[in-house]
Amino acid sequence: MARAYNFAPGPAALPESVLKQAQADMLEWGDAGASIVEMSHRGPEFMEVAARAEADLRTLLAIPDDYAVLFLPGGATTAQALLPLNFADAGATVDYVVTGHWGKTALKQLTPSVQLNVAASGEADGWRTIPARDSWRLTPGAAYVHITANETIHGVEFRPAWGEPAPDTGNVPLFADFSSSIASEPIDISRYGVIYAGAQKNLGPVGISVVIIRRDLLERAGQPRANIFDYRAQLANDSMLNTPPTWNWYLAGLVFRWMLDAGGTAAFDRLSDQKAALLYGAIDGSGGFYRNDVDVAVRSRMNVPFFLADEARNDAFLAGAREAGLIGLKGHRVLGGMRASIYNAMPVDGVRALVDYMQDFQKRNG
Ligand code: PMP
């Protein structure tokens, strides 16, 4: 059976070479007599996999030494719940800039003992823009400012055309949910206090997440919390306070290596520009048959939501796409329509195939 071009938002397409490598490693790891998923996480085989994954991620993202890297089970939502516990004292104010569904989700994870300040929100604007930096009502002395670097459902991303991608928050550390855009371009990690990402878009399989933390922030007391939710304890134990998701960690490591071999984040930056230009070009050039509503300055290069002018044709569009070998295009239930997620593992040819299909569908139905 041929593999389709998979535009799913996450779990998302993985590079074929990574899947083949995993397939080859599945029965036996070297001559260990067992697969990597069957061996102790404290054994030399897995310890090497884990160390290599961290070293490769550090190279890939140019993570400075004064930042810790954790590989933790669970997704980005779990990280959202752990941020206030680890970094905000009881009664402290936390500032959130909300630019779509996932920023709203982050608010729901807050512990009641912190004070929430929504410093800016794109909701009144239908999540189509990111409020200008000078309109943010930040709290002096807040524990942190939280942003969502890329909104996976609404297709809104902090882009240079909007302003500084890592907005200046003065002495207050900037915390960013990079789940759906990490490693899509070089970023200056030193601008952030914490960066976190669920792996299942650009980094690998679902079930593991990466948390990058400026080490001095770990000195903060935070709230009383269970040991397993304590980032300091996790760091002291190399992210192995309990049995880690070894298979996911190993697979993520293969994806890191694949990205490095492909030229690193600078290469994916160029490819993302190319893919986004193709797809938005097709949408904008369709004479209204297709449309994307997001302000051009903050259009996501990773997730492209789009709508057919005649929504009655949605099912036919999706069925035809499947026949053309294009899957995962149905929009998220909160927004409807279509969405093409074009992460690092999506080749330019996949986007070309989608654009060809869209134009062909329009010819037949326009
Ligand atoms: N943040 C963003 C930007 C996301 O895209 C998602 C999931 N799509 C989440 C948070 C929630 O992640 P998880 O399902 O891994 O908890």
Average pLDDT score, the chain: 97
Does 2 fall in a domain? no
Statement to judge: residues 344 and 302 lie in one domain: yes
Domain of residue 323: give its range: 264-365
Tens-place pLDDT, residues 94-130: 999 999 999 999 999 999 999 999 999 999 999 999 9
Statement to judge: residues 294 and 244 lie in one domain: no
Does 120 fall in a domain? yes
- How far lies 207's CA from each of 9, 10, 116, 158, 283, in Å? 15, 11, 28, 26, 34
What SS3 class is residue 245? coil
CA of 180 to the centre of ligand 1 (A): 8
What does the alpha-carbon distance between residue 294 and residue 283 come to, in Å, rounded to a whole number? 12
- Residue nearest atom 9 of ligand 1, based on CA coordinates: 76
- Crossing angle of helices 348-365 and 264-284, in 10° steps, is 10
Tens-place pLDDT, residues 229-278: 999 999 999 999 999 999 999 999 999 999 999 999 999 999 999 999 99
Q: CATH number for the domain including 317?
A: 3.90.1150.10
Statement to judge: residues 34 and 174 lie in one domain: yes
Q: CATH number for the domain including 231?
A: 3.40.640.10
Q: Candidates 180, 202, 206, 209: which one to mutate for ligand 1, based on the most atoms within 8 Å of Cβ?
A: 180
**Overall number of domains in the chain:** 2
Does 219 fall in a domain? yes
Exposed, middle or buried: residue 349 (CB in 10 Å: 0-12, 13-18, 19+)?
exposed
CA of 102 to the centre of ligand 1 (A): 7
Q: Is 45 within 8 Å of 364 (Cβ atoms)?
A: no
Tens-place pLDDT, residues 313-339: 999 999 999 999 999 999 999 999 999
Predicted confidence (pLDDT) at residue 187 exceeds the cutoff of 70: yes
What SS3 class is residue 346? coil
Mean pLDDT of the region 194-223:
97
Mean pLDDT of the region 67-83:
97
Statement to judge: residues 251 and 268 lie in one domain: no
The residues carrying an active-site annotation are: 102, 177, 201
Last residue of a domain, one of 224, 241, 261: 261
Statement to judge: residues 295 and 349 lie in one domain: yes
Predicted confidence (pLDDT) at residue 2 exceeds the cutoff of 90: no
In the chain, helix, strand, coil percent, each to 5? 40, 15, 45
Statement to judge: residues 165 and 255 lie in one domain: yes
What is the per-residue pLDDT for 284? 98
Q: Is 354 within 8 Å of 279 (Cβ atoms)?
A: yes
Statement to judge: residues 245 and 272 lie in one domain: no
Percent over 70 (pLDDT), the chain: 100
Q: How confident is the model at residue 366 (pLDDT cuts 50, 70, 90)?
A: confident
Statement to judge: residues 226 and 305 lie in one domain: no
Q: Establish whether residue 177 lines the binding site of ligand 1, counting it when its CB lies within 6 angstroms of any ligand atom.
A: yes
CA of 185 to the centre of ligand 1 (A): 19
Inter-residue long-range contacts of 318-322, CB under 8 Å, 24+ positions, other chains counted: 320/357, 320/361, 321/354, 321/357, 322/4
Predicted confidence (pLDDT) at residue 217 exceeds the cutoff of 90: yes
Predicted confidence (pLDDT) at residue 165 exceeds the cutoff of 90: no
Q: How big is the CA angle at 203 (ends 352 and 128), to the nearest 5 degrees? A: 60
Residue identified by tokens 């500032």 is 95
Statement to judge: residues 219 and 352 lie in one domain: no
Predicted confidence (pLDDT) at residue 1 exceeds the cutoff of 70: no
Statement to judge: residues 185 and 304 lie in one domain: no
Does 7 fall in a domain? no
What is the per-residue pLDDT for 31? 94
CA of 12 to the centre of ligand 1 (A): 12
DSSP 29: S
- Residue nearest atom 12 of ligand 1, based on CA coordinates: 76
- How far lies 289's CA from each of 19, 128, 307, 361, 362, in Å? 37, 19, 8, 10, 7
Does 21 fall in a domain? yes
Last residue of a domain, one of 236, 261, 286: 261
Statement to judge: residues 147 and 222 lie in one domain: yes
Q: Establish whether residue 144 lines the binding site of ligand 1, counting it when its CB lies within 6 angstroms of any ligand atom.
A: no
Last residue of a domain, one of 203, 227, 261: 261
Does 351 fall in a domain? yes
Does 165 fall in a domain? yes
Does 11 fall in a domain? no
Statement to judge: residues 220 and 194 lie in one domain: yes
Q: Establish whether residue 97 lines the binding site of ligand 1, counting it when its CB lies within 6 angstroms of any ligand atom.
A: no
Mean pLDDT of the region 132-159:
98
